[in-house]
Amino acid sequence: MKQLRHFLFFGVGFLIFFYGSTILDSSKKALTLWFEVLVPSMFVSLICIRYLYYQGLFPSLHLPLLEKTFHMNQYALSLFFCILLLGFPNGALLIEEAYQQQRLTHQQAKRLLYTCSIASPGFILISCGIGIFQSAQIGWRLFLIQIAAVALLLLITRSTPISMLPLQTETKSLKAAMLDSGLSLFMLGGYLMLVTSITAVICLWLSPSQCHIVQMLSEFSSGIFLSMTLPYPLVIKQLLICILLSFGGFCVHLQTRSLCSFPYSYACYCGFRILQAVLASILFLFLL
């Protein structure tokens, strides 16, 4: 994997000399998407959720029924709620922190990583619901479908119980929540530009239909906006967006890989993303 990563970055650096204008244009588009869509819809919510998590307020939500259903204790369930509210890849960072603090075992960390992968509520409700469809109702439906799909994955994997200790580290300030949230968004923007640039070069050798598929699978946020330009009925576009929100895109997968130091199978992780997309699609069609 390390050699493959070195080869990939060497290839990107080499391509810059031959396709500089293509990479420049794609980087500008990625930067516009990041600054005008992702930052406004995610930054404030990230700060609030991180601050509440750092202050240790989420464990006060004691829900015995959910704890028994998902085979988690009170502190594990509070981490689960934070992961859902932060969205990917920020949720993976919380899992990594809990693992480094020895509050999660290796198997428990892998269970949360495989199952708890979802776009942030801010992106789904604001960017997708209000921004794309001009409908808060559609945004909430997409969000609740993702929550239900994640819940089903947790039920499938409940044979691995998660019993966490309370957070023992000193609580962080609002300033720390802002800095950590800003760093997460900065990292997201960097990966977005990198993956978008590589995809733009690859698409030079593909047909338009093949290029659309590659673009949607490589980066989910730009793929969602691209899906709205396709000549399909509105319900099909919503279904495509539902699938993309579940899969996350290879850009998110790369960010998750870079954030988590504990070993895990990418094939298994990707398989869970595909299963989540299938479950979300079934739920979407059932609710039509």
Residue-wise pLDDT for 121-152, tens only, equals 888 988 888 888 888 899 999 999 999 999 99
Length of the chain: 288
Percent share of the chain, pLDDT over 70: 90
On whether the CB atoms of residues 225 and 33 are closer than 8 A, the answer is yes
* Run of H or E including 253: helix 250-259
DSSP character string of 234-277: HHHHHHHHHHHHHH--HHHHHHHHHH--S---HHHHHHHHHHHH
> Does residue 267 carry a pLDDT above 80?
yes
Q: What is the pTM of this model?
A: 0.82
Name the band, by pLDDT with cuts 50, 70 and 90, for residue 60: low
* Rounded Cα–Cα distance for residues 281 and 238 (Å): 10
> Does residue 288 carry a pLDDT above 90?
no
Place of tokens 């700060």: 47
Name the band, by pLDDT with cuts 50, 70 and 90, for residue 111: very high
The pLDDT value given to residue 281: 94
Instruction: List the domain boundaries for the chain.
Output: 18-286
Percent share of the chain, pLDDT over 90: 22
The backbone torsions φ and ψ at residue 264, rounded to the nearest 5 degrees and listed phi first, read -155, 160
> Does residue 170 carry a pLDDT above 60?
no
What is the rounded average pLDDT for all residues in the chain? 84
Residue 167, both tokens: 């957070």
Name the band, by pLDDT with cuts 50, 70 and 90, for residue 209: confident
The pLDDT value given to residue 50: 80
Which amino acid, residue 8?
A: L
Name the band, by pLDDT with cuts 50, 70 and 90, for residue 78: confident
The backbone torsions φ and ψ at residue 162, rounded to the nearest 5 degrees and listed phi first, read -125, 110
Residue 127, both tokens: 């960017």
User: Which range has highest mean pLDDT (74-83, 135-144, 190-199)?
Assistant: 135-144
> Does residue 6 carry a pLDDT above 80?
no
Q: How far is CA 126 from the centre of its chain?
A: 16
* Rounded Cα–Cα distance for residues 85 and 103 (Å): 20
